[in-house]
Amino acid sequence: MLSASVAGASAALGRHQFGDLHRVQRGALAQVVVRHEQRQAVLDRLVGMDEQNVDEISTGEPLMLTVGTATTVGAVTSARDDECEVSLKRPVCAPEGAKIAINRRIGARWRLIGIGTLTTEN
Residue 41's Cβ-side half-sphere holds a number of Cα atoms within 13 Å equal to: 3
Per residue in 66-104, pLDDT (tens digit) is 988 899 999 999 988 888 899 999 988 888 888 999 999
pLDDT attached to residue 60: 93
**Is the pLDDT higher at 7 or at 42?**
42
Distance CA 82, CA 37 (A): 11
Residues in the chain: 122
Q: For residue 109, with 0-12 CB atoms within 10 Å meaning exposed, 13-18 middle and 19 or more buried, which class applies?
A: exposed
Helix or strand or coil: residue 71? Answer: strand
pLDDT at 120 over 80: no
**Is the pLDDT higher at 8 or at 107?**
107
- Give φ, ψ of 21 to 5 degrees: -75, -25
pLDDT attached to residue 36: 78
Cβ atoms of residues 101 and 65 within 8 Å: yes
**What Cα–Cα distance (Å) separates residue 7 from each residue in 1, 4, 14?**
18, 10, 20
Per residue in 22-57, pLDDT (tens digit) is 444 555 666 778 787 888 888 887 767 776 788 888
Residue 91's Cβ-side half-sphere holds a number of Cα atoms within 13 Å equal to: 10
Q: What is the pTM of this model?
A: 0.70
pLDDT at 18 over 50: no
The most distant pair of C-alpha atoms in the chain lies apart, rounded to whole Å, by 61
Q: Which fold has domain 28-121?
A: Elongation Factor Tu (Ef-tu); domain 3 (2.40.30)
Stretch 95-116: mean pLDDT: 89
